[in-house]
A and B are shown apart, each in its own frame.
Chain A
């Protein structure tokens, strides 16, 4: 399936676009990222065994090959795209890999394979999606796909439960978390649906008690989809994803309509849902009491967050150095808690660098949204950016006990194939949108 925007072929530059310089910048940044990753990899090995890794040269070669592969795809398919997006993702992905390899060598091999698959997924998405705007047409299909993906883990036979969350699907030899892909599908659905209905949703014509609200008939499919996702996730016990979806829904609705009342209603709904979840589910109560006082059960429920705090504190400003920390004893340190390991070994400086990388990603995403020129692309990029920025925020805030801990992965950094592939697909959509925005700016006459 090749999606094009009808009469005009987008992959054929009509007028000079700022592509060449942007791609050169990207190449430079990618080489820089590769060097940083290799340096960290070598240091982690030196820290652990006082010797350089035997595979450092092939390692550098594979990294460069993967990144240059993605870069060539960018040159050919999206020459005008923002030069920051791919290098930032590569840097986060590479740092994540270095720490996964440092924590568990067996997982490193798998993560490397998943990275290769992800790059392929990234390029494939760029090839398939020639015009982001065309995706609007398939909004209900995406809605359906999203819902099906969400329900899959609850099905008998293929659904699997690990660590208390039923978020896995196992078909034959393949295990994956469909929720990681569902969030993209739902962002696509919401963007399409809200673009279509934003006028109607922005006007309050219906009286509900003392409030004027939009007509419920415009509103109900959105509420239904989101309500459904939340119900499913409560049953899957995936609180982090539930929170993420709520944020996605509220942010997109508010950005589309500009009505602050949606945010208020969303906050109210979320407050109510949180209270309900807290009063009904013991695992939610546990999360909250651990957040308030982890030291009430330092060896049990509070162990993870306490160990994370010890790891971060031990790292101090400059960190212990890669391979020299002790955070490898934290359960889930290669996935949800990888930020604690990074914070211990790279210190406040390294942790802040990771934060900055996510901020720059978010900034680039929102800049694309501002310059995109069409409602659907803007809304979609806002949604995708929200997903990355807030997913990173939710898990980091949980690890450092700023918020109650809700297990989600740290995008691009954590171990996990589903998460990595999904985030690279998401990145490809952003890059594609970015390319289109840049061309639109470069072709003022045509665009108007």
Chain B
């Protein structure tokens, strides 16, 4: 029997060895795979039982903080300002996960980045709180003005520093209060979330960076960029014919100016008066699809902006205008869809942009043609106030040459001094702007009212770029954009210029 017992010993040993190997596989080799599975709530439970850093505006207003309490989950998230920063901070929910800064900077807020953890080497022996505070570029004074100026209107305001890409204000209406969604009581949070999901006006969606709209005449800045960059347009020539309508090749449907007006002239004049006919002709007959697509994509269209928030959408500019039908020697090639190209030149047809994208267009003009990576995080601080991480300010797109930017900057300033954006004339400041009224083709007439602008101290470099979009307003005259969006942009620019 001795032999059998020896073999049996070996068999039992082998069985337990197999268990040991499998345990190593689960607990060591594949542990992180298991920990990261979406239905595994352990990491969430740990995070809800630990202190979490605050989210604070540039001027020190707490936008999100954690409150400790005696319950299963020891911390719950509080947003003292309610809905004001909802689309920036996002929510932090045990039930639904997180969005916005809460999600993008979760590791920093939870204190799990190496730079936060290695600060305190005693952490090898104890469990010190390593959570970090996220300091935003957003300033409460500009943000509050953006909210108040928008009032009850549906739309969005984006203001940013063109030199850095740092967002100063970003507000979208309607919005929501992140507090109840972040309730640790799953049932209550679910009820609120179900309601918000079902609401037809989609309050959870930020109109600033998660939804697209016709940019209307604000897109003429991009068309003008294409003209200047390709060399067929400069300050003096051509002088566009003053006409009521323009009919592109291959169609009999003419494009008219706002209110049936006659419009034409040099680049500055057609920008000041927002001549549809001139820009449509420029794109359809002088530029063709190539330079238009190049200018739109150089400005960031067809690319998701790398903003540090959840699920930003790209703005779109069509890239296919059909086959070449004709190549005249003295004009742009004629494509099957050249009539559509003419419409895109004035921000209609298949062009759609987020307010963030249009703010970046203005910022590019203001910053010598260079669009910086948009962001809301300025820096991360440890609890003792030491800065452990700073946002790496860097360019995103080269929208245009510095020379083109200089021309467009002066052109946009002339739109304020002599054109449709006169409501933005601010004493002591240099302001450039472009209005937009994106007609929705409905009866009674409705449109999206737009204003994009930049401003700086008189004669100095622009320090703020802004885009205001008010959705689906009554009327579609040439004044609609300036009338509705202008006063909002003015108040936001004033607030931003007043910053120290």
- What is the bound-complex CA distance between A355 and B16, given in angstroms? 7
One of B5, B15, B23 near A343 (C-beta < 8 A): B23
Tell me the nearest residue of chain B to A359, going by C-beta. B16
The answer to whether A256 touches B19, judged by C-beta atoms less than 8 angstroms apart, is no
A388-411 CB mask vs B (1 if < 8 Å, else 0) is 011001001100111000000000
> B20: shortest Cβ distance to chain A, in Å?
6
Cβ contacts under 8 Å, A314 to chain B:
31, 34-35, 40, 42
Answer whether residue A254 sits at the interface, using C-beta atoms and an 8 A cutoff: yes
Which of B6-14, B55-63, B164-172, B404-412 is found at the contact surface with chain A?
B6-14
Assembly CA distance A389 to B10 (angstroms): 12
Known: A351-B27, A389-B12, A396-B19. A366 touches B5 (CB 8 A): yes
Is A312 touching B27 in the complex (CB atoms < 8 A)?
A: yes
Return B5 CB to nearest CB of chain A, in Å.
5
**Do A370 and B27 form a contact, CB below 8 Å, given A310-B34, A397-B19?**
no
Is B27 in contact with A347, judged by CB distance below 8 angstroms?
yes
**In whole angstroms, how far apart are the Cα atoms of A356 and B1 in the complex?**
25
Whether B23 lies near A348 (C-beta < 8 A) is yes
Q: Kindly state the separation between the CA atoms of A379 and B24 in the bound complex, as whole angstroms.
A: 34
Q: Are B5 and A369 in contact (CB under 8 A)?
A: yes
Taking the complex as formed, is B39 at the interface, i.e. its CB lies under 8 A from any CB of chain A?
A: yes
Report the Cα distance A379→B2, complex, angstroms.
Answer: 11
Contacts of A396 in B (CB 8 A): 19
Q: In the bound complex, do residue A309 and residue B26 qualify as a contact, i.e. CB atoms below 8 Å apart? A: yes
B118 interface residue, CB < 8 Å from A?
no
Q: Is the CB of A363 within 8 A of B1?
A: no
Per-position contact with B for A348-374: 1 when CB-CB < 8 Å, else 0? 100110010011001100100110000
Residues of chain A within 8 A of B45, CB atoms compared? 326
Are the C-beta atoms of A352 and B20 separated by less than 8 Å?
yes
User: Bound complex: CA of A310 vs CA of B30, how far in Å?
Assistant: 10
Question: What CA separation (Å) do A298 and B13 show in the bound complex?
Answer: 33
Query: Does the CB pair A359–B13 fall under 8 Å?
Result: yes
A313 at the interface (CB under 8 A from B): yes
- Tell me the chain A residues, 171-201 only, with Cβ under 8 Å from chain B: none
Quick check: is A159 within 8 A (CB to CB) of the other chain? no
B498 lies within 8 A of chain A by Cβ: no
User: Which residue on chain B has the smallest CB distance to residue A310?
Assistant: B40
Residues of B within 8 A of A213 (CB): none
Q: Is B1 in contact with A362, judged by CB distance below 8 angstroms?
A: no
Chain A residues contacting B114 (CB-CB under 8 Å) are none
**Cβ of B31: which chain A residues have Cβ within 8 Å of it?**
313-314, 316
Interface presence of A382 (CB below 8 A): yes
Asked if A70 CB lies within 8 Å of chain B CBs, one says no
CA distance A416 to B162 in the complex (A): 70
- Asked whether A61 is an interface residue with its Cβ less than 8 Å from the other chain, the reply is no
The A-B contact count (CB < 8 A) is 105
Q: Which residue of B lies closest to A378 (CB)?
A: B1
Contacts of B27 in A (CB 8 A): 312-313, 315-317, 343, 347-348, 351
If over half of B's interface residues share one DSSP class (helix, strand or loop), that class is named, otherwise mixed; here it is: helix
**CA of A255 to CA of B1, assembled, Å:** 6
Does B4 touch A at the CB level, under 8 Å? yes
How many residues of A are counted as interface, with CB atoms below 8 angstroms from the partner's CB atoms?
43
The interface bits of chain B over 21-56 (1 if a CB of A lies within 8 angstroms of the residue's CB, else 0) are: 011101110111111010111100100000000000
Does B3 sit within 8 A of A, measured CB to CB?
yes
The residues in A between 388 and 439 inclusive whose CB is less than 8 angstroms from any CB of B are 389-390, 393, 396-397, 400-402
Q: Roughly how many angstroms separate A308 CA and B222 CA in the complex, as a whole number? A: 58
B20 touches A363 (CB 8 A): no
> Is the CB of B18 closer than 8 A to any CB of chain A?
yes
Does the CB pair B34–A386 fall under 8 Å? no
A258 interface contact, C-beta 8 A = yes
Complex contacts, B42 vs chain A, CB 8 Å: 310, 314, 326
Quick one: closest B residue to A401, CB to CB? B22
- Known: A313-B34, A314-B35, A389-B12. Contact between A402 and B19, CB under 8 A? yes
Q: Within the complex, what minimum Cβ distance (angstroms) separates A317 from chain B?
A: 6
Asked whether A60 is an interface residue with its Cβ less than 8 Å from the other chain, the reply is: no
- Best-surrounded residue of B16, B28, B30, B32 (most CB of chain A within 10 A): B16
Contact with B4, one of A255, A298, A309, A310 (Cβ below 8 angstroms): A255
Residues of A contacting B34 in the complex (Cβ-Cβ under 8 angstroms):
309-310, 312-314
Q: Is the CB of A362 within 8 A of B23?
A: no
A214 contacts partner chain B, Cβ-Cβ < 8 Å? no
Q: How far is it, in angstroms, between the C-alpha of A91 and the C-alpha of B23 when the chains are bound?
A: 21
- Contact partner, B26, options A312, A352, A366, A370, Cβ 8 Å: A312
Q: How far, in angstroms, from A2 to B39 measured CA to CA in the complex?
A: 59
Cα A229 to Cα B42 with chains together (Å): 42
Nearest residue (CB) in B for A329 is B41
Alpha-carbon gap, A299 to B33, bound state (A): 18
A370 and B28 form a contact (CB under 8 A): no
Q: In whole angstroms, how far apart are the Cα atoms of A393 and B23 in the complex?
A: 13
In the bound complex, what is the Cα–Cα distance between A172 and B399 (angstroms)? 87
**For the complex, is A18 an interface residue (Cβ under 8 Å from B)?**
no
Say yes or no: A312 contacts B23, CB within 8 Å: yes
CA distance A152 to B459 in the complex (A): 99
Per-position 1/0 for A7-28, Cβ under 8 A of B: 0000000000000000000000
- The distance from the CB of A84 to the nearest CB of chain B, in whole angstroms, is 15
Distance to closest chain B CB from A115 (angstroms): 25
Contact B23 A352 (CB under 8 A): yes
List the A side residues contacting B28 at CB < 8 Å: 316-317, 348
Interface centre among A251, A254, A299, A309, by most chain B C-beta atoms within 10 angstroms, is: A309
The interface residues of chain A lying within 8 Å CB-to-CB of B8 are 251, 255, 366, 382, 386
Name the residue in B26, B40, B45 with the highest tally of chain A Cβ atoms < 10 Å from its Cβ: B26
Contacting residues of chain B (52-103) with chain A, CB-CB under 8 angstroms: none
The answer on a CB contact under 8 Å between A400 and B19 is yes
- Shortest Cβ gap from B398 to chain A (Å): 47
Q: Are A400 and B9 touching (Cβ within 8 A)?
A: no
A266 at the interface (CB under 8 A from B): no
Q: Which residue of A lies closest to B21 (CB)?
A: A402
Select the residue from A255, A306, A314, A370 with max chain B CB neighbours within 10 A.
A314
Residues of B within 8 A of A355 (CB): 16, 19-20, 23
Chain A residues with Cβ below 8 Å from B41 are 326
- A366 in contact with B9 (CB, 8 Å): yes
Query: How many Å lie between the Cα of A369 and that of B27 in the bound state?
Result: 35
Q: Are A370 and B12 in contact (CB under 8 A)?
A: no
Q: Is the C-beta of A375 less than 8 angstroms from some C-beta in chain B?
A: yes
Complex contacts, B37 vs chain A, CB 8 Å: 310
Asked whether, in the complex, the Cβ of B16 is within 8 Å of the Cβ of A358, the reply is: yes
CA–CA, A386 and B12, complex, Å: 9
Measured CB to CB, the closest approach of chain B to A1, in angstroms, equals: 29
B4 touching A402, Cβ below 8 Å: no
Which B residues lie within 8 Å of A362 (CB)? 9, 12
A351–B23 touching, CB < 8 Å: yes
Instruction: Give the CA-CA distance A370 to B7 in the complex, in Å.
Output: 12
**Using a CB–CB distance below 8 Å, which chain A residues touch chain B?**
251, 254-256, 258, 298-299, 306, 309-310, 312-317, 326, 343, 347-348, 351-352, 355, 358-359, 362-363, 366, 369-370, 375, 378-379, 382, 386, 389-390, 393, 396-397, 400-402
With contacts A256-B1, A366-B8, A378-B5 known, what are 7 further pairs, Cβ within 8 A? A258-B1, A258-B3, A310-B37, A312-B26, A314-B31, A359-B12, A366-B9
A-B residue pairs in contact (CB < 8 Å), sample of 23: A256-B1, A258-B3, A258-B4, A310-B37, A312-B27, A313-B32, A313-B35, A314-B31, A314-B42, A316-B27, A316-B31, A343-B27, A352-B23, A359-B12, A362-B9, A366-B5, A366-B12, A389-B15, A390-B15, A397-B15, A400-B19, A400-B23, A401-B22
Which 7 A-B pairs give the minimum distances between C-beta atoms? A313-B34, A313-B31, A255-B4, A348-B27, A310-B40, A312-B26, A314-B42
Which positions in B face A, CB cutoff 8 Å?
Answer: 1-5, 8-9, 12-13, 15-16, 18-20, 22-24, 26-28, 30-35, 37, 39-42, 45
